[in-house]
Chains A and B, each alone.
Chain A
């Protein structure tokens, strides 16, 4: 089982919790942690379920509900906003047919907002999984999305 394989790599210490969640959620295609998995992780680290649940609910990387295969996060902060000639979010919403915080029906994409990505020198910016895309234009956004669709 996938989670067991991930757990085995880590010492059974509470301070490994975030690293475990990060790795497991990345390899799991629906990018979320279920309650059963929370219990398994809690048992492995010998901590209460509620502590795992608490961490899961605090950090924006984590989700307790299934998400799409690819998670698109659009920066909504001031530096990107003032140098955007396009409304990045609206373009993506139109391309994919979903609103922010929704997942496409084929489970391929989830669209979210994110806080500043640290690419203010190259905005507007967005993140898809662990890749960051900068200097976005309408054409560039569409091209990037097409590439992800091709690899599906």
Chain B
């Protein structure tokens, strides 16, 4: 690669040709302030905060999008530049609701940080904010246009990464705003609630609906037996909420923190992930053996289910009828568990902690009620919300002792642990299906071709003497490719795993802020470390799962399994989505 020489603030630098000024400066220890810039997203260059002065150019240039050329002389902090940056941030603040102390993003807000970094101590411009309504007409996400700074990150993830294009930029000039078409709520426009928009929003314009108050209320209600399940992806991510490095494995500390928060029992969603593998693996074998609908597609991702029901209702019969691990847990928690524990099921309050915002929608689906009067899952918290509760309680998380999960939903396997990574569900399923069909142990435990951040991954599996093709996709734009094949009848696959979020659940919409591909990789790497260190690595070896079948469910795909652990889907292509969310169910 050709190298070029330039100077930044009188310091000589040498970088690869076409490196942006922003990246070059960072390499040499200088962090030029930015706002709309987000690692791994396309460069927009529209906030203009990162402008710098380049000798010979009349105007200021955006450092994020200007490549270094030989001999360039750059100043990142000249008086012109500083005045421009301050002015730009003041302009943004003048069209922004600046009640920071009561803002959902207080202390986690990139605009706030920027104002502080730039030393803004007054705003020369009067407020021109015209207050408009907040969109909270769905159970997952809250959009507050009074906070939006029109950086466009959410529109980019929605249209480029996910390909769903629910959010767009409307209007022109000062009327410019981010919204769904015709300024309608998200819920009326087939939003999948994946929450990727919330995870990239620099301010509080899009956040998850906060259910912490609901959980606090339950925790302090002595009549309630409050139990919680923790998703696989949370244990490699929650640490970031308290300042630990991405990928730090904090499983045991999470359990301890939950106990301090007041949960009566702390269970592991990984348990029902193992259960999902048993049910889904057997379902796959059944379809293969009995000419069932193939390819079969996974069903544990609620964003994907929302996507399929609204955009691919014609292929719903390909999707596994298995509930997600969250919902299998909920069903057992309101039937098997209360019986075992001698508690009235209506007194059991079930909370799940998920890396996901769409899980809040899933929990409220009408099908997810084994007792018709109340839901199986009472509240869903994102990883971020759990972090918030830990801080509210004043827990010194980093220094907690490790505690094990509670029985009877505490023993889990490595197969379950890897659900959090894209390709993990597929790999977990293969570990079981292979051994059941071939009646012999796996030659290799790890299917590396199904791991990593490529959009679509494939593998060939030997099942009963035949080669079976499987595929894994993450992000909805990649899912679309496989769905189109299924729709056209040209899919070469027998089994397909779809995850809505980039990287799988570890990249979910409810994960700690600042997720980049590097951080996704860190979380994924840790996920496989957890797997490698587990005593049991295949779902069918989980003794507690085996016991559950022996004592309760009897057999995979049996009557009780179907009643509790399986579900069905709806063609929502023509429905007004607002009917799907009971507004009284806030």
Interface residues of A (CB under 8 A from B): 35, 38, 48-54, 57-58, 64
Contacts and interface: CB of A to CB of B under 8 A. Distances in A.
A70 to B, nearest CB: 24
Given A48-B159, A48-B164, A48-B165, A53 B182 contact: yes
Given A53-B170, A57-B170, A35 B182 contact: yes
Q: Would you list the 6 A-B pairs with minimal beta carbon distance, nearest first?
A: A53-B181, A48-B165, A50-B168, A57-B170, A54-B168, A50-B181
B171 A50 contact: no
A48 B158 CA distance: 11
Contacts of A64: 182
A52 B170 CA distance: 10
B165 A38 contact: no
Contacts of B181: 35, 38, 49-50, 52-54
B172 A50 contact: no
B169 interface: yes
B171 A57 contact: yes
Contacts of B189: 49-50
Given A57-B170, A57-B171, A51 B165 contact: yes
Contacts of B165: 48, 50-51
Contacts of A57: 170-172
B172 A58 contact: yes
Contacts of B169: 54
Interface string B170-210: 11100000001110000001000000000000000000000
Contacts of B167: 50
Nearest to B170: A57
B170 A38 contact: no
B166 interface: yes
A38 B189 CA distance: 13
B533 to A, nearest CB: 44
Contacts of A50: 159, 165-168, 180-181, 189
Interface in B307-357: none
Contacts of A52: 181
Contacts of B159: 48, 50
Interface of B: 159, 164-172, 180-182, 189
24 contacts: A35-B181, A35-B182, A48-B159, A48-B165, A48-B166, A48-B168, A49-B181, A50-B159, A50-B166, A50-B167, A50-B168, A50-B180, A50-B181, A51-B165, A52-B181, A53-B181, A53-B182, A54-B168, A54-B170, A57-B170, A57-B171, A58-B170, A58-B172, A64-B182
Q: Counting chain B CB atoms within 10 Å of each CB, which of A38, A52, A54 scores highest?
A: A54
A35 B364 CA distance: 29
Q: Counting chain B CB atoms within 10 Å of each CB, which of A54, A57, A58 scores highest?
A: A57
A53 B167 CA distance: 11
Contacts of A51: 165, 168
Q: Counting chain A CB atoms within 10 Å of each CB, which of B167, B172, B180, B181 scores highest?
A: B181
Given A48-B165, A54-B181, 18 more contacts: A35-B181, A38-B181, A48-B168, A49-B189, A50-B159, A50-B166, A50-B168, A51-B165, A51-B168, A52-B181, A53-B168, A53-B170, A54-B170, A57-B172, A58-B170, A58-B171, A58-B172, A64-B182
B490 to A, nearest CB: 19
Q: Counting chain A CB atoms within 10 Å of each CB, which of B167, B171, B172, B182 scores highest?
A: B182
B442 to A, nearest CB: 43
A58 B168 CA distance: 12
Nearest to A59: B172
Contacts of A54: 168-170, 181
Contacts of B166: 48, 50
Contacts of B172: 57-58
Q: Counting chain B CB atoms within 10 Å of each CB, which of A35, A48, A58 scores highest?
A: A48
A93 to B, nearest CB: 23
Nearest to A35: B182
A38 B184 CA distance: 14
Contacts of A58: 170-172
Nearest to B173: A58
A100 to B, nearest CB: 16
A41 to B, nearest CB: 12
Nearest to B164: A48
Q: Counting chain A CB atoms within 10 Å of each CB, which of B166, B170, B172, B180 scores highest?
A: B170
A54 B155 CA distance: 12
Contacts of B170: 53-54, 57-58
Nearest to A58: B172
A22 to B, nearest CB: 17
Contacts of A38: 181-182
Contacts of A48: 159, 164-166, 168
Nearest to B172: A58
Contacts of B180: 50
Contacts of B171: 57-58
Q: Counting chain A CB atoms within 10 Å of each CB, which of B165, B166, B167 scores highest?
A: B165
Nearest to A48: B165
A152 B181 CA distance: 34
Contacts of A49: 181, 189
Nearest to A39: B181
A62 to B, nearest CB: 11
Nearest to B169: A54
A35 B189 CA distance: 11
Q: Counting chain B CB atoms within 10 Å of each CB, which of A50, A53, A57 scores highest?
A: A50
